[in-house]
Amino acid sequence: MGEWTGEPARPPEAGTALVRRPGPRLADGIVTHIERRPVDTALAARQHEAYVAALREAGWRVREVPPADRCPDAVFVEDALVVAGDTAIMGRSGELRRRAELEGAEQAALDLGLRVSWIKEPGTLDGGDVLQAGDTVYVGRGARTNEEGVCQLAGLLGGRRVVPVATRGTLHLKSAMAALPDGSLIGLPEHLDTAVLPCLRVVPEPSGAHVLPLGADRLLMAASAPRTAELLSADGWRVTVVDISEFEALEGCVTCLSVLVPGVA
Mean pLDDT of 165-176: 98
Residue 169 pLDDT greater than 90, yes or no: yes
Q: How far apart are the first and last CA of the chain?
A: 27
Mean pLDDT of 110-133: 98
pLDDT at 9: 40
| Strands of 136-141's sheet in order across | 130-133, 136-141, 161-166
Catalytic residue at 151? no
> Any residues with CB less than 8 A from the CB of 260 and at least 6 apart, and which?
14, 15, 16, 17, 18, 60, 83, 212, 214
- C-alpha to C-alpha distance for 265 and 262, rounded to whole angstroms: 8
Mean pLDDT of 139-145: 97
pLDDT at 14: 85
Angle 211-217-223 from CA coordinates, rounded to 5°: 35
Residue 242 pLDDT greater than 80, yes or no: yes
pLDDT at 2: 30
For 178-208, write each residue's pLDDT tens digit: 999 999 999 999 999 999 999 999 999 999 9
The DSSP code sequence of 45-81 is HHHHHHHHHHHHHTTEEEEEPPP-TT-TTTT-GGGGE
More confident residue, 208 or 11: 208
- C-alpha to C-alpha distance for 186 and 178, rounded to whole angstroms: 5
Residue 163 lies in a domain: yes
Domains of the chain: total? 1
Residue 64 lies in a domain: yes
Q: Nearest to residue 18, comparing CAs of 71, 60, 62?
A: 62
Residue 3 lies in a domain: no
Peptide bond into 67 cis (omega under 30): no
Residue 114 lies in a domain: yes
Residue 76 pLDDT greater than 60, yes or no: yes
- C-alpha to C-alpha distance for 251 and 221, rounded to whole angstroms: 15
Q: What domain range includes position 153?
A: 15-22+44-262
Residue 4 lies in a domain: no
For 210-231, write each residue's pLDDT tens digit: 999 999 999 999 999 999 999 9
pLDDT at 224: 98
**Which residue in the list 71, 191, 210, 256 is annotated as catalytic?**
256
Catalytic residue at 210? no
pLDDT at 247: 98
Residue 215 three-state SS: coil
Residue 51 lies in a domain: yes
Residues making up the chain, counted from first to last = 265
Of the chain, the percentage scoring pLDDT greater than 90 comes to: 92
Residue 241 lies in a domain: yes
Domain containing 73 — which CATH number?
Answer: 3.75.10.10
Residue 57 lies in a domain: yes
**Which residue in the list 48, 71, 172, 210 is annotated as catalytic?**
172
Mean pLDDT computed over every residue of the chain:
94
Count of Cβ atoms closer than 10 Å to residue 4 Cβ:
7
- C-alpha to C-alpha distance for 164 and 176, rounded to whole angstroms: 14
- C-alpha to C-alpha distance for 25 and 140, rounded to whole angstroms: 28
> Maximum CA pair distance of the chain?
59
Residue 1 pLDDT greater than 50, yes or no: no
> Any residues with CB less than 8 A from the CB of 220 and at least 6 apart, and which?
54, 55, 58, 211, 212, 213, 214, 239, 240, 241, 242, 254
The type of residue at 2 is G
Cα distances (angstroms) measured from residue 116 to each of 110, 112, 113, 182? 7, 11, 9, 28
Cα within 13 Å of Cα(197), Cβ side: 28
Query: Which pTM was predicted?
Result: 0.94
Residue 67's pLDDT band (cuts 50, 70, 90)? very high
